[in-house]
Amino acid sequence: MVEEAKKILYSAVQPTNNLTIGNYVGAIRNFVALQNDYDCFFAIANMHAITVRQNPAELRQRTLSLLALYLACGINPEKCVIYVQSHVPAHAELCWTLNTFTYVGEMERMTQFKDKSARHADNINMGLMDYPVLMAADILLYQTDYVPVGLDQRQHVEIARDIAQRFNNVYSPTFKVPEAMFMKVGAKINDLLDPSKKMSKSSENVNGSVFLSDDKDTVIRKFKRAVTDSEACIRYDSENKRGVSNLLSVYSAFTGKSLEEAEREFAGKGYGDFKLAVGEAVAEKLAPIQKKQAELFADKEYLNAVLRSGAERAAKAANRTLAKVYKKIGFYQI
């Protein structure tokens, strides 16, 4: 019996700022599980990163640091393709072609473009507007079946689908039309100081976000400052007790205990003890990841070997799609 080919899954993360425990719970931890069931392509999206000005030395350092983090968390380069976006020129090449199938009005309506334009009013560049087309190229190059995203990224997958269908309708089926995969997350991790919004690696107040690079003392300090309420009762109620509910979600995600088990564990206890316990649970889980990441980061030769292999494997798949595109649109090839 011929074994059925695995579906293709694609994800890209920018090597900017530090990833948070929300990124770990909502994405990276799921990637580790998904790599066994899908053919996964995980890109370090440095081309997307430069739509906002970056310090060149920091960008290089963060690129390797993100790779080391992925490996430390359990993503296996033997099972999946891990590569740096700029190492595969086909991304930029397909982006240019797809620009001719994308309308300016569509890009102006993109939520991320409007948000980033407001935050970076002194640098509203074309890359910022063209970001979703490059993302469409990222996805479509690999004939992707599924793109794991949060609800805030749904719009980018939808525009990739629109562009793929538009091209296919003109030139016959060329791209697989991808689907968004909304992760089943046991916990949505929100900002510790403003639990009405999700924890972000680009938050203006770093005390609201717990980063995967934070040491134990920093983790404990941030949780001690977390917003709760005046009721002094530890129960899950996402509408009326957002701060406490957020902390219960974090505790559940990092201990494997259900929300009900966590509620029973802290019944009758004060918020001080509760916040300390949540912080310690997170710090305990992060410590071995941080240790492994530091060891990997020190081995540049190994990291470069992983990236060279990843780039070769990614380019092979990407160039196959790009060649089909170039043939269909009439580019003369030698």
**What span, in angstroms and rounded, lies between the C-alpha atoms of 147 and 142?**
11
300 is catalytic: no
Sign of CA dihedral 2, 141, 309, 7: negative
Closest by CA position to 228, among listed 187, 263, 269, 272: 272
What token pair was written down for 33? 């599980």
**What span, in angstroms and rounded, lies between the C-alpha atoms of 134 and 139?**
9
What token pair was written down for 286? 């992060």
198 is catalytic: yes
Closest by CA position to 317, among listed 94, 176, 141: 141
Pairing of strands 8-13, 39-44: parallel
Report H helices in the chain: 21-23, 29-34, 46-49, 56-73, 90-99, 104-108, 111-119, 126-141, 154-171, 216-224, 242-255, 259-265, 271-297, 300-329
The catalytically annotated residue of 198, 222, 241, 275 is 198
Q: What is the DSSP letter of 28?
A: I
**What span, in angstroms and rounded, lies between the C-alpha atoms of 87 and 312?**
9
257 is catalytic: no
The catalytically annotated residue of 201, 216, 292, 328 is 201
The catalytically annotated residue of 116, 222, 241, 275 is 116
Annotated catalytic residues are 116, 198, 201
